[in-house]
Amino acid sequence: MTLRKWFYLFWTTLLVGAVSALIIGLILQANDQQFYFNDGMAIGFNAATMLLGGAMISVLSQMGFFAYLIIRFFAMGLVRSKWIWDIVQILLVLIALFDLIYLRAADEVGHWSAYAILPVAMLCVGVIVALVKVKLTNRNGFIPTLFFMTAVSAIEAVPALRINSSASTMFMMAPLLASNAWQILILSKVLDSKKEPL
């Protein structure tokens, strides 16, 4: 990957994260009874804050993406068998989704099914992105894409999950998933390779 290609990936991902954070932030504030859309200065300040927040989340997404690429490179060198690495990734996806439910519900009084919404949503988004990735490249891209969109996204989302607020979780997860999806789908175009499994 050349520096020019990396700049393209960086700035487009930054834009995707900022715009998706602005959209989800305005939706969340429109549902808030304490927020009024008649103060132009407040709207401008909030919009700028949302854009900056989304940009920071996209940078976190990019760090996770490059960390995953490095881990995948070493894992493929150590394991030397693609199907074993695929099994490991599927197991890690299941563990990550289970932990998102069990570990978050362990300290709370409410029913565990309320905590299943986020992992199920992440899994659905992951499957959709993985299917699109298969159409863009080949069928070998399904499991790595699903792993990145679920397990890696779950790790990246830990700061929002610690707050245990649905609004904070939604505000972080929307740009995070959008940035992750953008990076993994655009990678083959950036590298000019349709054979790239990611």
Range of the domain at 159: 60-190
Rounded to an integer, what distance in angstroms lies between the CA atom of residue 43 and that of residue 59? 24
Count of other CB atoms within 10 angstroms of residue 13: 23
* Residue 17 belongs to a domain: no
pLDDT of residue 66 exceeding 90, the answer is: yes
Sign of CA dihedral 84, 89, 92, 93: negative
Mean pLDDT over residues 61-90, rounded? Answer: 89
Mean pLDDT of the 153-158 span: 90
Contact 177, 127 (CB under 8 A): no
Mean pLDDT, the chain, whole residue set: 85
Domain count, the chain: 1
pLDDT of residue 4: 86
In a domain, 23, yes or no: no
Give Cα separations from 13 to 16, 26, 55, 126, 165 (angstroms).
Answer: 5, 20, 8, 18, 25
In a domain, 43, yes or no: no
Residue 44 belongs to a domain: no
What's the whole-number mean pLDDT along residues 126-145?
A: 94
pLDDT of residue 189: 85
pLDDT digits (tens, 9 = 90+) for 163-197: 777 888 899 999 999 999 999 999 888 887 655 55
Domain membership flag for residue 179: yes
pLDDT band at 32 (very low <50, low <70, confident <90, very high): low
Residue with the larger pLDDT of the pair 19 and 82: 19
Does residue 50 form part of some domain? no
Domain-located, residue 138: yes
Least confident of 74-88, 104-118, 157-171, 175-189: 104-118
pLDDT at 176: 95
In a domain, 15, yes or no: no
User: pLDDT-based confidence at 76, cuts 50/70/90?
Assistant: confident
